[in-house]
Amino acid sequence: MKPKIATILPVALSALAILLSQFKPLHEMIAKPDIQVTLAKSIYLNQVLGNIGINQYVWVTNRGDKSGIVNRIAYFLKKKGDNTFENVAEPQFYFLPSAQSNVQIPMQEIILNPNEKWENYIAVFRQLSKSDEKTVSSLTQTISKEILSLRQRGNYQAIISRDTYEKVLGYVNQKMAAFTIGEYNLLVCVWCQGIKEPVFKTCYQFSVYDFDVQKLQQATDDYAYGTGIAGPPNPANQILATLTVVSDRALESTMYSELIQNLNQ
């Protein structure tokens, strides 16, 4: 019996070695990404033809030992205490880190290797409905065409026609009517590919004052000159809001459920 065992053992060990060679090393099998997100403590709020936008500086770092992909970021803005204003938005583009940069880069998935960091200003806007998209596209084209025509004739203090401006004013005021002074909650969630629950979920609050609303109204007034449509927006027409973390699990849970419901529609 012993000679047979001695003969079989090397064959068995060889077979086992071949089998094990088909598997990845153990450290690779248990490796996983560890996505960590840090947000700036303040945001800039603006409006583009009534669509409330949020600009914020974001740091995303992979502290894990495997590559990770951030495949979704969502912001849920809601007026505190009532349902008069709700806004679900996702990043549409980002700016390069330089404060001098106005280059807009379309937002895509963030792919991070181990110990790699991604940081940029992101611009978050609500996805327009088909109806709103059609209206905004029409107004944008009309404003741009009128301003360009006037400038080509040497009128650099160009003002759009009264009829066009009244259409802009009516549309923007309708969309902005519910965004008034008061307290607001903001829920920010970040998802990583392959992980069901958000890797980052935090609720904040901030205040909007009368002079803040006036700034956004000024942006509407400036559309008469093509500002923000046929030319760059005026930085003075945006709101700087300081965020405070809200340690209210019930509120966070409720807003998260509402956010998921909106995203799934």
Mean pLDDT of the 97-103 span: 62
| Residue 10 structure tokens | 């090397």
Asked whether residue 104 is domain-assigned, the answer is yes
CATH number for the domain including 85? 2.60.40.10
Which pLDDT score is estimated for 4?
54
Asked if the model's pLDDT at residue 239 lies above 60, the reply is yes
Residues with Cβ < 8 Å from 34, sequence gap 6 or more? 62, 63, 64, 68
Asked whether residue 257 is domain-assigned, the answer is yes
How many structural domains are present in the chain?
Answer: 1
Domain that holds residue 161: 33-263
Asked whether residue 125 is domain-assigned, the answer is yes
The model's pTM: 0.85
Asked whether residue 12 is domain-assigned, the answer is no
Asked whether residue 142 is domain-assigned, the answer is yes
Instruction: Indicate the range of 38-52, 74-88, 100-114, 193-207 predicted with least confidence.
Output: 100-114
Asked whether residue 6 is domain-assigned, the answer is no
| Residue 154 structure tokens | 């040497």
Give Cα 178 to chain centroid, integer Å. 21
Q: Where are the beta strands (DSSP E) in 129-246?
A: 182-192, 200-208, 239-242, 244-245
Mean pLDDT of the 163-185 span: 95
Could you tell me the CA-to-CA distances from 70 to 47, 96, 136, 138 in Å, in that order? 27, 18, 30, 34
Asked whether residue 169 is domain-assigned, the answer is yes
> What is the percent of the chain where pLDDT is above 90?
72
Asked whether residue 185 is domain-assigned, the answer is yes
Tens digit of each residue's pLDDT (9 = 90 or more) over 133-163: 999 999 999 999 999 888 887 766 778 999 9
